[in-house]
Amino acid sequence: MSTALAVAGVTAVLRDQLQAWLVAQNVNAALGGANAEVTAVAPDTIELTGSNAGPRLNLFLHQVSPNQGWRNVDLPSRNTRGDRVESPPLALDLHYLLTAYGPQELHAEVLLGYGMQYMHERPVLGREEIESILPVELRPSNLGRQVEMVKITLSAMSVEELSKLWSALQAHYRPTAAYQVSVVLIESLAAGAAALPVLNRKVFVNPNLLPTLPGITAVIPPNRRPGAVLSDTVGVEGHHLDGANRAVRLENRQLGIEREIPALAGNESGFMRFTVPNAPADLRVGVYTLRALVRRPGEAQRRESNLLSLTILPEITTALPLNVARDAQGAATVNLACRPEVQPHQRALLVVGALEVLADPHPAATAVLTFKIPDAPVGSHLVRLRIEGLDSLIVNAAATPPTFFDRRIVIT
Kindly list the strands in the beta sheet with 37-39, ordered across the sheet, starting from the edge strand earlier in the chain.
37-39, 56-66, 90-101, 176-186, 150-155, 124-125
pTM, full prediction: 0.60
Name the more confident of 340 and 198.
Answer: 340
CA-CA distance, 69 to 67, in Å (whole number)?
6
pLDDT attached to residue 145: 85
Q: What is the pLDDT of residues 32-75, one digit of tens each?
A: 888 999 999 999 999 888 777 889 999 999 999 999 888 777 65
Residue 180 has pLDDT above 80, yes or no: yes
Rounded to 10 degrees, what is the CA torsion of 302, 307, 309, 310?
A: 0
Instruction: Report the DSSP pairing between strands 355-358 and 322-324.
Output: unpaired
Q: What percent of the chain has pLDDT over 90?
A: 65
The DSSP secondary-structure symbol of 2 reads B
Residue 83 has pLDDT above 90, yes or no: no
Q: Which residues contact 20 (CB under 8 A, 6 or more apart)?
A: none
CA-CA distance, 225 to 391, in Å (whole number)?
12
CA-CA distance, 39 to 16, in Å (whole number)?
9
The DSSP secondary-structure symbol of 387 reads E
Q: What is the pLDDT of residues 187-237, one digit of tens each?
A: 876 665 666 677 677 666 667 666 778 999 999 999 888 999 999 999 999
H/E element holding 258?
Answer: strand 257-262
Per-residue HEC secondary structure of 35-73 comes to: CCEEECCCHHHCCCCCCCCCCEEEEEEEEEEECCCCCCC
Residue 253 has pLDDT above 70, yes or no: yes
